[in-house]
Structure 1
Amino acid sequence: MSHHDIAARPASREGAMKIWYQSLTRPDAWPAYNAALHDVLEGAKDPDTVIEVHGIEARGGIGDQYRYLEFIEAQEVLSNVERATREGFDAFLIGNIGDPGLREAREIAAMPVLGLCETSSHVACMMGGNFALVTGNAKHAPRIVENVNKYGLASRLAGVRMLTVNRLVDLDLGFSDEQAGRALVDQFLAAARAHAGDGAEVIIPAVGVLMTLLARHGVHEAAPGIPILNGVTTLLKMGEAAVRMRRSMGGVWTSRRAMYAMPPAAQLDELRAHYGPVYPAAPQP
């Protein structure tokens, strides 16, 4: 198993929590980024929060801007949701702007499951009247806009601009080469400032890797008073908040009516005979 454990001790005291952070990057293809992601999460988490950062290990992990490849990687994400459920995690965070498997994951799990795109876009709406996106490339943009529409926020989307990073793993160089990193930041800021000039109130860097790079460079505004929302730290803090809210609500979180309903207990044995040990959080028959 390849992962980073972010904590010096297990989550045992009242208020402690154990969070699974799921990246869609293959660790050996993104070594500098994964180290930086670890540092950003370490700096943002609450003292009693235990985070495990996992990437894609089975198949893929380098090209999720393509829908077919994202679909392949989403299978591992969902397998990890089942595993995190069995291992007693308190929340599952999907740290990819496509939110792969988000709805399916909520159907599986009892713990809160949050996605990078949904969380970032909703929080941006609490920060300003609209928000704008800067995506990694033209291929990625329609997928992210589709998510924003799905989340009912189309009227709040002020615009979309794209970087020219067509091979996503090239972003990893930005963490090991200062000049390459600065060039990426400058390219992003040019797009963000253009959005600000058009009236955007909040800017979302719509690539998780880019969010991490901007955090490392301390970039938080496109212009004075125009915030850049860092979705990585936002996802973590909202995940921690969701765990606390669930505890205060007697363990209730995901609605089981309609969209996220699990199969009836009477059907579980039959389903598991054909699909394997699915729905680990479902009531036992």
Structure 2
Amino acid sequence: MKLWYQSLTRPDAWPAYQAALRRVLARATDPGTTIEVHGIEQRGGVGDQYRRLEFIETIEVLENVERAEAEGFDAVLLGNIADPGLRTAREMARIPVLGLCETSLFTACQMGVTVGLVVSNDKHYSRILENVALYGLNTRVVAVERMAVDRLVDLDAAFSPGAVQDRILGQFHAAAEACVARGAEVVIPAVGVAMVLLAEQGIHETVKDTPVLCGPMALVQAGQAAVRLSRAMGGRYASRRGAYGQPPPGQIEELRRYYGPVYPAVTPDP
């Protein structure tokens, strides 16, 4: 099984995170599964908390989804807490496409009745809550607390011992404890880099025996399960009725004249 893990970070701007991410993913990977980690190479990769910048990066993400399928990968894992391009990717691809936010939330709902989120800053706050509403989980998320990490690339320094690491971990612990005080039974660090940082530090629990979910690990496990399920169902996964429906065979040639070689799985009518 081959999984494509798509980050929204530029590798040369996040060297410590990139190395740690690979170690964390390896711990969740079953024998016989390989994971390739890809970041943002064309434009951006350092400020996806801003909608405009996320939009720019999502173009490359969707190109990579198409590339992953063409190169024989079995699933694509979108390793960013905003789930950029998730629904579009599912409409495009025949292989399973899973998102970090959606997978983390649904996994947490299996671990506890109520969920708390620790976001990186005020800008991330509303973006993550939009996903919570989109996935129909407003009643399950009972607390959202903020850290104060306005410049996300500063998180890379937290992978080395020192003042930055102490500050980030201290902010997370305070926010996680506040989530538990408000009734959360599971806490999700709602920024992918922080998830990896905590896993590297062996932090999988906060006060009152409350689990701290490592989203990338959950994403890998869910991705492997999705591939096995797809195989068991004869290669089907995403529904083609409604939200993830593709253009009909009778229209695909017209669309390709204007958009290029889109939806390669759709065969034109004879």
Shorter-chain TM band: over 0.9
Matched, 1:101 2:60: no
**Mapped partners of 2:264, 2:80: distance in 1:** 24
Deviation at 1:275, TM superposition (A): 1.2
CA–CA distance in 1 between the matches of 2:26 and 2:124?
Answer: 28
**Does residue 1:129 correspond to 2:113, yes or no?**
yes
Q: Distance in 2 between matches of 1:107 and 1:137?
A: 31
Deviation at 1:38, TM superposition (A): 0.8
User: Is the 1:85–1:280 contact (alpha carbons within 8 Å) kept by the matching residues of 2?
Assistant: no
Equivalent in 171, 189, 196 of residue 180 of structure 2: 196
SS in 1 for 2:27: helix
Q: Is the 8 A contact 1:82 1:280 kept in 2?
A: no
Matches within 5 A, 1:122-161: 122-161=106-145
Deviations, residues 141-166 of structure 1 (Å, cap 9, x unaligned): 10000001000001111111111000
Unmatched 5+ stretches in structure 2: none
- State the match for 2:190 in structure 1: 206
Q: d(CA) in 1 for partners of 2:222 and 2:140?
A: 20
User: Aligned equivalents of 1:118 and 1:18: distance in 2?
Assistant: 21
- In 2, the alpha carbon distance for the partners of 1:141 and 1:281 equals 37
1:159-198 matched pairs, under 5 angstroms: 159-198=143-182
How many Å apart are 1:34 and its aligned residue?
Answer: 0.4
What SS does structure 1 have at the residue aligned with 2:202?
A: coil
1:11 corresponds to which residue? none
> What CA distance in whole angstroms lies between the structure 2 residues aligned with 1:153 and 1:257?
23
Rounded Cα–Cα distance in structure 1 between residues aligned with 2:2 and 2:265: 17
Aligned to 1:82: 66
Please give the per-residue CA displacement for 1:173-206, whole angstroms capped at 9, x wherever unaligned.
Answer: 0113444223212210111011112211110000
Q: Structure 2-normalised TM-score?
A: 0.97
User: Deviations for 1:200-235, whole angstroms, at most 9, x for unmatched residues?
Assistant: 111000000000000000001111321111101000
Q: Secondary structure at the match of 1:160?
A: strand
Give the partner amino acid of 1:74. Answer: T
Secondary structure, aligned partner of 2:262: coil
1:108-149 per-residue CA deviation (whole Å, 9 max, x = no partner) reads 001111000101111111111110110010001100000010
Q: 1:32 pairs with 16, 26, 48, which one? A: 16
Q: Give 1:270's aligned amino acid.
A: E
2:56 is the alignment partner of 1:55: no
List aligned pairs for 1:243-262, cutoff 5 A.
243-262=227-246
Q: How many residues align?
A: 269
Distance of 2:113 and 2:264 partners within structure 1? 40
Contact 2:8/2:48 (<8 A) preserved:
yes
CA distance in 1, matches of 2:72, 2:251: 24
| One-letter amino acid of the counterpart of residue 80, structure 2 | N
**What stretches of structure 1 of length at least 5 have no aligned partner?**
1-16
Tell me if the contact between 1:82 and 1:279 (Cα under 8 Å) persists in the aligned partners. Answer: no
Which residue of the other structure, out of 115, 127, 135, is the alignment partner of 2:99? 115
Q: In the alignment, is residue 237 of structure 1 matched against residue 235 of structure 2? A: no
Does the alignment pair 1:41 with 2:18?
Answer: no
The list of structure 1 runs, each at least 4 consecutive aligned residues, that deviate by more than 6 angstroms after superposition, is: none
CA RMSD in angstroms, aligned pairs only: 1.1
